[in-house]
Structure 1
Amino acid sequence: MRIPFNRSEGASLGIEWELELVDLASGELTPLASEILEQIRPAGQPSHPRAKHELFENTIEVITGVCRTVEEAMEDLRVTVGEVSAAAAERDAGLICSGSHPFSDWALQKVSPDPRYALLLDRMQLPARQLLTFGVHVHVGVRAAEKVIPIVNALTQYVPHFLALSASSPFWAGADTGLASVRTKIFEQLPTAGLPHQLANWKQFEAYMDLLIRTKAISSIREVWWDIRPHPDFGTVEVRICDGLPTLDEVGAVGALAQCLVERLDREYDRGYTLPVPRGWVVRENKWRAARHGIDAEVIVDDRGTVVPVADAITDLVEDLMPTARRLGCSEQLSGIERILAAGPSYARQRAVADAHEGDLRAVVHSLLAEARDGLPR
């Protein structure tokens, strides 16, 4: 099975941001997506080009076009979010983003009308019905198909960095899970989700996708929901590990991190370097540590078992990537990672609000609404 890869000219950028629609009075998720998407649909167009359905009617995903810089992507998102937010306000609803809603019940949510979601639920059953989770996906352009699998493999060493920074799902159905990111554990229930399989090259990727389709494990490669995956149609590597990010500031920071890493790995490949392939057991353990402990995790950095705080690893990585960021025009956004470390990732901020309000999770929703409106706390 041949899978064409629509190569990108450079480290182009695209971002997908899954937003929750919440009732302003109760803080509960509210099924308004179809109404809002119909209202903001441009005249004469079948759908909005930058906003679309997700699995449940309580979610709208806003997407960018193909952007050259993080700043351009953020402005693209800002415009679409403004349209969605205004339409939601007319219905006494607001927008938040977090890896999981603090207390809404997954079993009570209305499914979107797209037939492919009905097929997904029929095939996957309970694991799919429980997918009341929200994330941010970052696409970065890659210049040639033969680079994609080496870049995906190398990026897995940074899974704990992305997850610790973005972790925003400490609560599930009204209870504190004890995790920084329960979203990652819920999503891993799907048979084609989780960490990417370590493959050698594009030919192996084509053979593996062919096997999955021939054996009816999937109907298309879009149903392989790896934490980091190739996207042949877009000509990108897609970083999908991140929990939902509450503010555009955080989206920009994580977008800059992804763009810089892919660009550096792409250039290193061109220079003849063999990109690193981390041991599978190390990647799995580090992902778990970040999901459990967030920014307080200690991660394994070599085969000898050397352990360092992930916060220190992130700080060092930002410093190391800054020359690449300056070349790409995203040094300001990459520096935003320092603000996330200072303010604490969302899971920590949410827990602090819950503690200050004697466990009232409605206060957490209100704090997420305020962050979506005002940006990352200083």
Structure 2
Amino acid sequence: MAIEFNASDRATLGIEWELQLVDVNTRHLRQEAQQILGELPDLSEAGSHPPLRHELMQCTVEVVTGICETVEEARADLAGSVKRLQEVMEPRSAALLCAGTHPLDDWRDQTLSPVQRYGELIDQMQWLARRILTFGVHVHVGVRSKDKALPIVNALANYLPHFLALTASSPFWSGHDTGLASSRSIVFGALPTAGPPPHLADWPVFEEYMETLLRAGTIASIKEVWWDVRPHPDFGTVEIRMFDGIPTLREVGMAAALSQSLVQLFDQQLDRGYGLPSPPTWVVNDNKWRATRYGLDARVITDEHGSTVPLRDDLYELVRELKPVAGRLGCAEDLDVVSEVLHTGASYERQRAIIDQGGTLNDVVDALAAEFRAEGFGPAPGGGGVTGNDTAAGGTATEQGNAGGDTGREHPSMKRGPSHAGA
């Protein structure tokens, strides 16, 4: 079967950011996405690709950019939509935050969104889908040719542990410490068409594979392929879906800069006739698990012989390698946030530090909300709890947050596309 790839002119950006709706007093998730989006029809009903969207559960709103040339533009796009969202939420005593999971809440207590495709997903996947109380960030980067799409996807698979460890933010599941840096990657990865991408050499092989999956009834649409990195034919992008929910806009910019710089580098290397890295499947799978379990403290496998290096060291080297590309793209400062996270701690580390210092999971929720609010999305309303108290576990939001630091406007790269679980 022929699948058209609507190639992009350059490495443009599109970002999807899934946010949690939280009660400021109880710290539990609020099931009010439908009502909140209903108060913002200009953002939630703006054509086929609105900036604000439903997700699988009513406790989630997804914020989606238009097509952006730079990381700075993408951050500004997200910030504008979030500010509008907060204007509606604050009178409801509700706050926004982002992490791969909610530290306290259980999937059994959530309300599903009244959207047909989500009902179909639940009917097909049952328990696997019902428990997807997870939140992520997806980054689309424009690709100039279908002939480049699969080599770039294969090369990006080498960096799944880097993407995940930097943004891992889901150590807690239903009120318990899982011992993992990212429980989200396990929960969402249980879907039969999720997980690392299979190695597909080129576009004709991808077309043949999609035809096989459709013929077998494994999928009803190629949009039901939820790989950690996948080509998106309609948008002319590769979509990186490995990122856990990211608590701050600054770190979202980091993820976007890393993604855009890598895709741009690979595009240039293909133009020069170089082959791109394509790690064996067992290495990709093992490295993803290592980042899921150990986060930034993982040792990643670097070759088919089993050689390993500390992931932190590999990330420092990656930033050094990408710096010239990021400079040309105008996102060097965003890429530098990688080094800051390595120094101050990823979200899973910041969350656990609160507990280690004698705090509670309520304090963790407060700290996540404080980190989000510190991005300049406006003043907090009065009162305690999630939005009115900048301290938790005995420190300021900055001190604790930095412990030392799952579909409106269209554009050729992304055109406001599908989201976390089932678009």
Q: Provide the residue aligned with 2:396 in structure 1.
A: none
Residue 112 (structure 1) aligned with residue 99 (structure 2): no
The 5 A counterparts of 1:1-378 are: 1-42=1-42, 45=46, 49-358=50-359, 360-375=360-375, 377=402, 378=405
Alignment partners' CA distance in 2, 1:48 and 1:203: 29
Question: AA paired with 2:281?
Answer: G
Which letter does structure 2 place at the counterpart of 1:87? V
What's the secondary structure of 1:258's corresponding residue?
A: helix
Tell which has more relative contact order, 1 or 2 (C-alpha 8 A, sep 6+): 2
Describe the SS at the equivalent of 1:241: strand
Query: In structure 1, how many angstroms separate the alpha carbons of the residues matched to 2:310 and 2:183?
Result: 21
Q: Aligned partners of 2:256 and 2:303: how far apart in 1?
A: 26
Are the counterparts in 2 of residues 103 and 172 from structure 1 also a CA contact under 8 Å?
yes
Unmatched runs of 5 consecutive residues or more in structure 2: 376-400, 406-423
The answer to whether the 8 Å contact 1:357/1:363 transfers is: no
SS of structure 2 residue aligned to 1:240: strand
- Alpha-carbon distance, 1:213 to partner: 1.5
Q: TM-score, normalised by structure 2?
A: 0.87
- The more displaced of 55-64 and 304-313 is 304-313
Q: Does 252-261 or 332-341 show the bigger shift?
A: 332-341
Name whichever of 2-11 and 79-88 sits farther off.
79-88
Structure 2: which amino acid aligns with 1:121?
A: I
Which blocks of at least 5 consecutive residues in structure 1 are unaligned?
Answer: none
What is the alpha-carbon distance in structure 2 between the residues aligned to residue 282 and residue 62 of structure 1?
33
Residues in 1 aligned to 2:215 and 2:30: alpha-carbon distance in whole angstroms: 39
Structure 2 distance, partners of 1:56, 1:343, is: 32
Paired residues of 1:192 and 1:224 also in contact (CA < 8 A) = yes
Shift of 1:304: 2.3
How many angstroms apart in 1 are the aligned matches of 2:303 and 2:214?
A: 36
Would you say the 8 A contact 1:42–1:48 is kept in 2? no
SS in 2 for 1:62: strand
Name whichever of 40-49 and 349-358 sits farther off.
40-49
> Would you say the 8 A contact 1:98–1:134 is kept in 2?
yes
SS in 1 for 2:197: coil
**1:199-228 alpha-carbon deviations (Å, 9 max, x no partner):** 111011111111112222111111100000
For the residue of structure 1 that corresponds to 2:267, the secondary structure is: helix
Deviations 1:132-170 (A, max 9, x none): 000000000000001100100011111111111010000
Deviations 1:10-48 (A, max 9, x none): 000000000000111111111111111111111985688
| Partner Cα separation in structure 1 for residue 53 and residue 224 of structure 2 | 18
Deviant stretches of 4+, over 4 Å? 43-48
How far the C-alpha of 1:229 sits from its partner, in A, is 0.2
CA–CA distance in structure 2, aligned partners of residues 42 and 190 of structure 1: 34
Question: In the superposition, relative to structure 1, how do residues 48 and 306 fare at CA in structure 2: closer, same or farther (>3 Å)?
Answer: closer
Q: Is the 8 A contact 1:322 1:331 kept in 2?
A: yes
What is the aligned-residue identity percentage? 54
Q: Please say which of residues 71-80 and 85-94 is displaced more in the overlay.
A: 85-94
Q: Distance in 1 between matches of 2:305 and 2:118?
A: 45
Structure 2 CA distance for aligned equivalents of residues 97 and 349 of structure 1: 14
Cα deviation, residue 49, structure 1? 2.0
Note the C-alpha offset of 1:109: 0.4
RMSD between superposed Cα atoms in Å: 1.3
Q: Distance in 1 between matches of 2:97 and 2:133?
A: 14
Aligned residues between the structures: 377
How far apart, CA to CA, are the structure 2 residues paired with 1:18 and 1:357? 29
* Distance verdict in 2 for CA 1:3–1:46, change over 3 Å: closer
Inter-partner Cα distance in structure 1 for 2:216 and 2:373 = 47
**Quick one: which amino acid aligns to residue 22 of structure 1?**
V
Instruction: Give distance in 1, aligned partners of 2:63 and 2:55.
Output: 10
* Contact 1:168–1:245 (8 Å) recurs in 2: yes
Determine if contact 1:166/1:245 at 8 Å carries over to the other structure: yes
CA contact (8 A) 1:37 1:48 kept: no
TM-score between the two structures when normalised by the length of structure 1: 0.97
